[in-house]
């Protein structure tokens, strides 16, 4: 492939990767703003969408996944910042990776960055999807989970 075409392809892939990161952040932050506006003043009473199955429940998560490490705010924020920097550095090396791999990586980066924005802005992460049998989570958590599952599947399927 001629060098100019390869550079154009790399630019397009990078734009789509960072475009997806931006899209995840925007969707997650808008959903959290709506939750903060409508649910945070309700004394944390859940909104039942499908009784006993799916509720919208406002939760201030000062920990990480599943509420672990609630009391280590400085350590968590520092660790998450280092992980995001590493993700960004790795993303610069993805120019030869398949587009689907880059998109999965974009989902992980966007989710991590959006939750980090909450942590810096609010001191906690806003969670609200409540399926009653699983810890409460948000759009960013879903994005991270889907991205990691896709990356694991690609890793397992590679020869």
C-beta separation of 105 from 94 below 8 A = yes
DSSP conformation letters of 71-107: T-HHHHHHHHHHHHHHHHHHHTTGGGS-HHHHHHHHH
Spot the catalytic one: 28, 118, 130, 141: 141
Q: Is 127 a catalytic residue?
A: yes
Dist. CA 131–CA 137, nearest whole Å: 9
Dist. CA 128–CA 59, nearest whole Å: 6
Q: Is 141 a catalytic residue?
A: yes
Spot the catalytic one: 28, 118, 127, 130: 127
φ, ψ of residue 43 to 5 degrees: the values are 55, 35
Token pair, residue 107, equals 């989902």
- Active-site positions read 127, 141
């Amino acid at each position: 492939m001629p060098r100019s075409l390869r550079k154009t392809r790399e630019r397009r892939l990078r734009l789509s990767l960072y475009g997806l990161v931006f899209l995840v952040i925007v969707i997650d932050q808008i959903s959290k703003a709506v939750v903060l506006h409508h649910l945070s003043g309700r004394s944390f009473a859940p909104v039942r969408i499908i009784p006993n199955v799916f509720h919208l429940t406002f939760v201030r998560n000062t920990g990480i996944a599943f509420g672990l490490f609630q009391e280590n705010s400085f350590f968590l924020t520092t660790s998450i910042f280092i992980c995001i920097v590493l993700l960004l550095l790795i993303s610069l090396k993805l120019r030869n990776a398949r587009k689907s791999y880059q998109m999965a990586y974009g989902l992980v980066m966007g989710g991590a960055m959006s939750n980090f924005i909450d942590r810096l802005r609010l001191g906690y992460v806003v969670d609200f999807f409540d399926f009653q049998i699983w810890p409460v989570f948000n759009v960013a958590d879903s994005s991270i989970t889907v991205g990691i599952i896709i990356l694991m599947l690609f890793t397992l399927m590679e020869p």
